[in-house]
C-alpha cells in the first residue's frame, strides 16, 4: 500500500509497524517445518529469491476505487531497493544503494526541505516502504529469515469458505511483535492467504491472495485483497501488474 493518503488506516496500526524491524536479508531457517519446505518449493523451486533482480509494477486501490500506480526495484543480492511514484507530474524516488539511502525528485538530488516534506522523502517513509514491500512480496521466502519462528497448526482451518493448512509465525522481540498465520492450499501448498494480529484475534487484518506472476521462476501472488479481522470489512487491493528484469539502478 504505497499511497499513504489512500491507505492511512494501515499506517495507524502501530503493531503492524513492527515490520519496520524486519531484516531485508536472508538467513538460515530456524524451523524444520515440512509444510514450510513444501510452500517454499512451490513458490521458489530454484531458490532464486536471494538473487532476485527485478522491477515490479504495482497498483493500489482503496474502497472508493481510487487507484495509485508505482514501481518497486530490488536487487536482493546487493541490497539495492527503490520505490518510484508520481505526484504533481513529478517522479518521486526513495531508495537504498550500497547501504545508503537516496532520494530523487525528477532525477535531481538537490531537494529542498519543503519538497522533502511535501513528497514524503524522509528516512521514516523509506524505511516503511522498504520493510513493507521487501517483506510482503518476499513471502513465503522471508519466513526463513533470522528471528522468525514457524510452527505448523495442529489442524486445518477454514477461511472464507475454504479449508487450508496453516503455518503459525511469531518473531523474536528484536524482529517483530505481531502474530502471523499463513494459509496454504492443502494440495499444492501455494500460499493463498495470510492474517496477522497484535495479540488479540480481533486486531489486525487478513489478506486474500489471487492469481500469480512468475518472476525469475518465483511464483509471486498477483492480487492482494485486504480486510479487517474485526468485521471482515474490505480495506483495499494491491495488484502486481507486471514484472521485468532489473537492468539498471536509479543511482
User: Quick check: helix, strand or coil at residue 11?
Assistant: helix
> Is 84 in contact with 93 (CB distance < 8 Å)?
yes
Radius of gyration (C-alpha) of the chain in whole angstroms: 18
Q: What is the DSSP letter of 22?
A: S
pLDDT digits (tens, 9 = 90+) for 171-209: 887 777 789 999 999 999 999 999 999 989 899 999 999
248 within some domain: no
Q: Looking at residue 32, what is its pLDDT?
A: 52
Could you tell me if residue 250 is inside a domain?
no
Task: Give the global pTM.
Answer: 0.85
Question: What is the Cα–Cα distance from 142 to 24, expressed in whole angstroms?
Answer: 8
- Report pLDDT digits (tens) over 99-151: 999 999 999 999 999 999 999 999 999 999 999 999 999 999 999 999 999 99
Residue 207 is assigned to a structural domain of this protein: yes
CB of 133 closer than 8 Å to CB of 72 = yes
Residue 212 inside a domain? The answer is yes
Residue 167 lies in a domain: yes
Question: Domain containing 188 — which CATH number?
Answer: 2.50.20
Residue 2 forms part of a structural domain:
no
pLDDT at position 8 is 34
* Confidence (pLDDT) at 116: 98
What are phi and psi for residue 105, nearest 5 degrees?
Answer: -125, 110
Q: How far is CA 240 from the centre of its chain?
A: 11
Residue 214: inside a domain = yes
Q: How far is the C-alpha of 197 from the C-alpha of 248, rounded, in Å?
A: 38
The length of the chain, given as a count of residues: 251
- Domain count of the chain? 1
Q: Cell numbers 487450508 label which residue?
A: 164
In this prediction, residues 57-77 reach a mean pLDDT of 96
As a whole number, mean pLDDT of residues 219-248 equals 97
Domain region containing 130 = 8-242
On whether residue 106 sits in a domain, the answer given is: yes
How far apart are the C-alpha atoms of 122 and 125, rounded to whole Å? 5
Grid coordinates in use for 167? 503455518
Amino acid at each position: 500500500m504505497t499511497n499513504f493518503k489512500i491507505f492511512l488506516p494501515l499506517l495507524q496500526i502501530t503493531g503492524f509497524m513492527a515490520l519496520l524491524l524486519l531484516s531485508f536479508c536472508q538467513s538460515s531457517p530456524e524451523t524444520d517445518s515440512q509444510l514450510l519446505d513444501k510452500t517454499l518449493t512451490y513458490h521458489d523451486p530454484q531458490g532464486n529469491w536471494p538473487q532476485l533482480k527485478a522491477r515490479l509494477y504495482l497498483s493500489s486501490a482503496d474502497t472508493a476505487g481510487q487507484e495509485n500506480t508505482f514501481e518497486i526495484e530490488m536487487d536482493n543480492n546487493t541490497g539495492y531497493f527503490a520505490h518510484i511514484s508520481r505526484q504533481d507530474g513529478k517522479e518521486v524516488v526513495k531508495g537504498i544503494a550500497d547501504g545508503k539511502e537516496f532520494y530523487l525528485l525528477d532525477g535531481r538530488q538537490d531537494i529542498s526541505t519543503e519538497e522533502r516534506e511535501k513528497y514524503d522523502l524522509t528516512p521514516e517513509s523509506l524505511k516503511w516502504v522498504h520493510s513493507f514491500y521487501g517483506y510482503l512480496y518476499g513471502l513465503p521466502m522471508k519466513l526463513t529469515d533470522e528471528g522468525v519462528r514457524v510452527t505448523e497448526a495442529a489442524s486445518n482451518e477454514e477461511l472464507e469458505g475454504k479449508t487450508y493448512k496453516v503455518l503459525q509465525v511469531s518473531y523474536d522481540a528484536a524482529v517483530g511483535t505481531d502474530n502471523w498465520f499463513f494459509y496454504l492450499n492443502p494440495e499444492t501448498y501455494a500460499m493463498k492467504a495470510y492474517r496477522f494480529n497484535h495479540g488479540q484475534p480481533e486486531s489486525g487484518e487478513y489478506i486474500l491472495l489471487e492469481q500469480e506472476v512468475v518472476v525469475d521462476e518465483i511464483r509471486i501472488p498477483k492480487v492482494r485483497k485486504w480486510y479487517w479481522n474485526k468485521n471482515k470489512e474490505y480495506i483495499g487491493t494491491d495488484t502486481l501488474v507486471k514484472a521485468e528484469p532489473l537492468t539498471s539502478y536509479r543511482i
